[in-house]
Amino acid sequence: MKEITVIAKNELGSLAAVAEALGNTGVNIEAISAYEKDHQAIFRVITNDVVTANKALSKIPNVTIREADIVIVKMSNRPGELGKLTRKLANKSVNLEGVYIVSRHNDFTEVAVKPASDSDFEKVKEVLGLK
């Protein structure tokens, strides 16, 4: 699965511009994470149409757009499961750039996992038994 990272100036309306650009082109946001770092707004977005999303987002002035592979992991929806998952990865020396919830249900939660380096992408899948 692909994640789009949008880096913009952290100012009023930055998230609105991203959400409107996607919505105006019929792209649905499946999951989103938004935070500030070093006076920049950083949005991690999973959509139903990466190609159209990239085209729409590239029209927003003064933003940087990156596309990267992520792994969606399904885990039991109970305390301690994220700790178990991330401990497995840490024990195999996999450093993570990002983790966030994609969906939550009664029995399970799906999280997006993005390794800090592209070289660890296959390792994440192997460690978590997703190959």
Quote the pLDDT of residue 119: 85
- The CATH number covering residue 56 comes to 3.30.2130.10
Last residue of a domain, one of 68, 84, 119: 68
Tell me what pLDDT residue 118 has: 84
Cα separation, 70 vs 126, whole angstroms: 14
Q: Which two tokens stand for residue 107?
A: 């029995």
Domain boundary among 68, 85, 110: 68
Contacts of 129 (CB under 8 A, 6+ apart): none
Torsion of CA 8, 36, 21, 73, to 10 degrees: 120
Percent of the chain with pLDDT over 70: 99
Identify whether residues 10 and 56 lie together within a single domain: yes
Mark whether 33 and 75 lie in a shared domain: no
Backbone φ/ψ region at 80: left (φ over 0), alpha (ψ -120 to 50), beta:
left
pLDDT digits (tens, 9 = 90+) for 19-74: 999 999 999 999 999 999 999 999 999 999 999 999 999 999 999 999 999 999 99
d(CA 130, CA 71): 9
What ranges make up the beta strands (E) of 38-107? 40-47, 64-69, 71-76, 96-104
41 and 90 belong to one structural domain: no
Mean pLDDT of the chain: 95
Residues 106 and 119 in one domain: yes
Structural domain boundaries enclosing 56: 2-68
Tally of domains within the chain: 2
